[in-house]
Amino acid sequence: MIKITLPDGSLREYPGPVTVAEVAASIGAGLAKAALAGKVPAADGQGSRIVDTSFTFTSDSSLSIVTAKDADGLEVIRHSTAHLLAYAVKELFPEAQVTIGPVIENGFFYDFSYKRPFTPEDLAAIEKRMTALAAKDEPVVRRVLPRDEAVAYFKSLGEHYKAEIIASIPSNEDVSLYREGAFEDLCRGPHVPSTGKLRFFKLMKVAGAYWRGDHRNEMLQRIYGTAWATKEELAQYLTMLEEAEKRDHRKLGREMDLFHFQEEGPGVVFWHAKGWAMFQQLIAYMRRRLANLDYQEVNAPQLLDKSLWETSGHWGWYQENMFAAKSAYAFMNPKDENAEQRVFALKPMNCPGHVQIFKHGLKSYRDLPVRLAEFGAVHRYEPSGALHGLMRVRGFTQDDAHIFCTEEQLEAECLAINDLMMSVYRDFGFEEVVVKLATRPEKRVGTDAMWDHAEGILKKVLAKMAAESGGRIKTGINEGEGTFYGPKFEYTLKDAIGREWQCGTTQVDFNLPERFEAFYIDADGAKKRPVMVHRAIVGSLERWLGIAIENYAGHFPLWLAPTQVVVATITSEADDYAREVGKLLKAKGLRVDVDLRNEKINYKVREHSVGKVPVILVVGKREMEDRAINMRRLGSQDQKAMKLDEAVAALLAEAMPPDLRS
């Protein structure tokens, strides 16, 4: 007898070998129909793995049936849909060669080699053929071949890319192939049991991609697609994409005259006056939040000798992300003995500089915790292809801070950081937050004992944060995603259209104080290493504003809007009154423009609405005589007549930053 243990602890017995599909059928017809795969113990006994429904048990085991409702099930659907895409392409374009087709966030892609670029019409035809192939509900069947036999097989089909992939596999290993109808592909699996399980998908776009990511190789064609478990989920995702396109911060940045990018400065922002005003509002807000929590704002140099970065470990562990510099003359004249050939690095992080500030002057245990904050400009190398507006840049500003404390203070400091973060996120309208603990990566410094200690503390803190949040904080673990010097908390926010953004971090570091020999004098008079906590609330201020632009769709709350009010005239007779209103509002601290142009008022309103100005005060002869205004709100056709003093008071109250409201 073979005993299969199910997730609820129940036990089922079978007289002989049994497949995942047969176990599902024995439980119920509905489950048999819904089953996409199975989750079974990993071969090494560590964790679990996903297998096909054809997987056969020959001994006792545990089993969880995977359906489309599970995250693993959705991944199997997307993986299988990528192969359905390849099947359709081979039917329509037999000369095309298939390469790889992995699952990515929200979908999949597949790379092809073909004699000409695929057109939008080709994409529509491929999707139509995919739908027809899915409707045939063809079984997806797995077989295993020795490596060399598999290489010969794909060469015989003219699939040279597949043959090259398989040839890179050790010769003593077997490889698995999956067949659906007339198409057979190299794949580790698992796959859905039949193509009929693939119903809700959409091909999105075609892009170029070098074979194996090497620019020296052939340019392939990458077809992107998305796939979902239900029609409703697919529709929701496509609607979200449409909305995201409307909210694109690069488009809104142009329309609102906030910033631009140009070729001479790849990955760095040219802030215009309105964008810079918003940037400064953000910094002012953050400064106020820190001032109440005993942070000291400092500023560390941009350029530091590479020896400091060697000591910190960045030069060895983070070098590919750093910019190096020396004098232009030395750079152009490397053989000149009189030129200083000293190599500096543009700082990618503020932490080594803050350690130097902490070390300047003797510290006692009574001085701890020391909280150093900086709105530090940092530079990190990003490949040109990865740059994306404000979201992915090479030069940015961190709302960075480092806390030096005792081990006894560490838990309280992490909890205080969390309270601050959650408050800031709420002020910007983000209520739903996921906090994940990122654990030790493969490439790291420090001992395992040091990592065990740090991770143990953060696990305890994470549980406490979740318990005290009233359900606002959801938690998780990101295995192996910590920084090279310590574990960290990663804060992920959900925006107005459901997208997730990883922003804040809290990182515990026992390593840098050791490397830089930082110490404080303990109560017993002995030198002791402080614990160093790295924290960023929004992370990159540039990226945060990009997220905010898209979250609000440019409709900023009044306190954050780059231009808060425009005073617009109906007739030139009201010009002087408009100037007076503008001057009064500016004196009260509001960001105001006055529009005296000889244009119709509807034209002015439309133009300022495109620029996403929250409030337009319309004035004419009557308003001048009555010392009144007509207030129009962004997105509304209505006007509200108000006395000037009443309007000023209302606007001042609304423009008050959330941290200053009682």
Q: Rounded distance, CA 506 to CA 484, Å? A: 14
Active site residue 400: yes
Could you confirm whether 83 is annotated as catalytic?
A: no
Q: Match 């049991």 to its residue by tokens.
A: 193
**Three-class secondary structure assignment of 167-208:** HCCCCCCEEEEEEECCEEEECCCCCCCEHHHCCEEEEEEEEE
- 555 catalytic? Reply is no
Catalytic residue among 247, 380, 529, 608: 380
Q: Which of 39, 78, 351, 507 is catalytic?
A: 351
Q: E strand or H helix at 141, and its extent?
A: strand 140-146
With 0-12 CB in 10 A as exposed, 13-18 as middle and 19+ as buried, what is 238? middle
Beta strand extents in 510-646 (DSSP E only): 520-521, 527-528, 531-540, 565-569, 592-595, 615-619, 628-633, 639-643
Residues 6+ positions from 80 with CB-CB distance below 8 Å: 140, 191, 192, 195, 197, 198
Amino acid letter, residue 381: Y
Active site residue 380: yes
The amino acid that residue 537 corresponds to is I
Read off the DSSP letter of residue 563: S
216 is catalytic: no
Q: How far out from the chain centre does Cα 74 lie?
A: 21
Q: Which position among 398, 409, 507, 564 bears the catalytic label?
A: 398
Q: Residue 222: what residue type?
A: R
Q: In a 3-state reduction of DSSP, which class is residue 294? A: coil
CA gap 378, 398 in Å, rounded = 7
* Max Cα–Cα distance, the chain, nearest Å: 97
534 in catalytic set: yes
Structure tokens at 261: 């990018």
Catalytic residue among 79, 199, 436, 488: 488
DSSP 482-549: SBTTB-EEEEEEE-TTS-EEEEEEEEEESSHHHHTT--EE-TTS-EEPPEEEEEEEEEEHHHHHHHHH
Are the C-beta atoms of 613 and 558 separated by less than 8 Å?
no
Identify whether 215 is a catalytic site residue: no
The DSSP symbol for 119 reads P
Q: How far apart are the first and last CA of the chain?
A: 71
Q: How many residues does the chain have?
A: 662
Candidates 402, 436, 529, 612; catalytic one? 402
Q: Which two tokens stand for residue 338?
A: 């009189």
Q: How many CB atoms lie within 10 A of CB 532?
A: 25
CB atoms within 10 A of CB 169: 14
Per the CB < 8 A criterion, the answer to whether 427 and 658 are in contact is yes
Catalytic residue among 247, 250, 379, 534: 534
Catalytic residue among 111, 399, 400, 595: 400
CA-based nearest residue to 7, from 72, 94, 56? 72
Cβ burial, residue 176 (10 Å; 0-12/13-18/19+): middle
Listed in sequence order, the residues at least 6 apart from 90 whose beta carbon sits closer than 8 Å to its beta carbon are 96, 98, 183
Distances (CA, A) of 558 to 562, 584, 591, 604, 630: 9, 17, 10, 20, 18
Judge whether 350 and 374 are in contact, CB under 8 Å.
yes
Q: List, in order, residues 6 or more apart from 325 with CB less than 8 Å away.
A: 303, 343, 344, 345, 346
**Of 167, 168, 166, nearest to 177 (Cα)?**
166
Catalytic residues: 351, 380, 398, 400, 402, 488, 534
